[in-house]
Amino acid sequence: MIATLITQILGALTIAAAMMVVLSKHPVRSVLYLVVTFFFISGLYIMMNAQFLAIVNLIVYAGAIMVLFLFVLMLLNLNKEAEPKTPTLSWVIASIAAGTLFIVFIAALKDIVLVTRPGDQVAVSNIGLVKNLGNTLFTKYVVPFEISSILFISAMVGAILLAKREKQTID
């Protein structure tokens, strides 16, 4: 019972933090709220007993990526620059679009026929544990895993190449 409650509270907090990401005027605040969102999501992962992902989410997202965002923000010193105001019409259109999208998605997902299990409770399983997941990852998915390293290398090279200050590439 408590677990359910915790889950629901976590969910509510996630939504709230996500809203703040979008709505806050200050980019740094957005980043911080996003970090908070990720923490809550990790919490939800834990509630689903997906421990490995919870940790990875924290380390990679909240730790690495978000710090990267912060660095960029600070590097460019964009804080002072106020973001131009979005026209009201855009707000209205975006709200309507988002609302419709939500309704439509819900309508679509609601009708999913859940076949494998009777009842609709999320079960507690142990597949999310590091040991089990590691087994799968390094047996069945070992090749994609290795390929992802190539992806990282190319991303790294790309990032360096792009961000390097060089006269002949720029201007």
Give residues 33-72 in contact with other proteins (rule: CB under 8 A): 34, 37-38, 41, 44-50, 52-53, 56-57, 60-61, 64-65, 68-69, 72
Distance of alpha carbon 86 from alpha carbon 139, whole angstroms: 50
Binding other proteins (rule: CB under 8 A), the pick from 9, 74, 131, 156 is 156
Q: Which long-range contacts (CB under 8 A, 24 or more apart) does 80-83 make?
A: 82/25, 83/25, 83/27
Site for other proteins in 83-112 (CB under 8 A): 83-84, 86, 90-91, 93-95, 97-102, 104-111
- Asked whether position 9 contacts other proteins by CB under 8 A, the answer is no
- Asked whether position 32 contacts other proteins by CB under 8 A, the answer is no
Q: In terms of C-beta density within 10 A (0-12 exposed, 13-18 middle, 19 or more buried), how is residue 120 classed?
A: exposed
Site for other proteins in 131-150 (CB under 8 A): 132-133, 136-137, 140-141, 144, 148
Q: How far is the CB of 137 from other proteins (least distance, A)?
A: 6
Q: How many residues does the chain have?
A: 171
Q: Is the separation of the CB atoms in 29 and 62 below 8 Å?
A: no
Instruction: Name the residue among 137, 153, 125 with its Cα closest to residue 56.
Output: 137
Binding other proteins (rule: CB under 8 A), the pick from 9, 74, 122, 131 is 122
